[in-house]
Amino acid sequence: MNTVITIGRQFGSGGREIGEKVAEHFGISCYDNELLSRAAKESGFCEEMLENHDERPTSSFLYNLVMDTYSFGYNASHFVDMPISHKVFLAQFDTIKKIAKEGPCVIVGRCADYALSDFKNSVHIFIYGSEDTKIKRIMKKYDLDSSKARDMCNKKDKQRQSYYNYYSSKKWGRADSYDLCINSSVLGVEGTVKLLIQYIEDFEAKNNQ
């Protein structure tokens, strides 16, 4: 096993749980919130700061500033004056690349597929689900009524979409942004996990030919 698996996901689709189960099957690490802890440690930011700016949208004007800084390195003169949200993005971007170089793993969210777009041994997956299934999962997990669960779902997905669309050159949730998009509501969490395991094993076999 030498593949890095990135998982983008709609809120309530079970993407994190699916990622954890896939990682467990292959005996590799799964990074979600764990990525924040490591990025905080390596960047010097406190973890709470990274959490507060995690997968939050920014402006398209400042996007160019961030990517220019990433291209030229952390010593660029304007990095010091950059908003915290953009420094957080750069810290996560760097951490994602470091994690991928260390070996196979699953990375959930945070534009990981874009960060690793040139990484040879990587598979980029997007998990979505039917609105009904997502709302029911959110209601159960957060003890909310259907109205509040729907509002929470819409808000989180808008945040993720805005964040991804600003920081990457692709479109969040669109099929051509990923290697595979799958509706977890069709097969359920366990069925989706089995399908992904087969897909990844086939990917590995092809790469090892």
Burial (Cβ within 10 Å: 0-12, 13-18, ≥19) of residue 119: middle
> What's the CATH code, domain 4-57+89-202?
3.40.50.300
Prediction pTM value: 0.84
Per-residue tens of pLDDT for the chain, all 209 residues: 899 999 999 999 999 999 999 999 999 999 988 887 787 777 776 666 666 655 555 544 444 444 444 444 444 444 455 667 777 788 888 999 999 999 999 999 989 999 999 998 999 999 999 999 999 999 999 999 999 999 999 999 999 998 899 888 899 999 999 999 999 999 999 999 999 999 999 999 998 77
pLDDT tens, residue by residue, 89-139: 888 889 999 999 999 999 999 899 999 999 989 999 999 999 999 999 999
φ/ψ of 169, rounded to 5, equals -95, 15
- Domain positions in the chain: 4-57+89-202
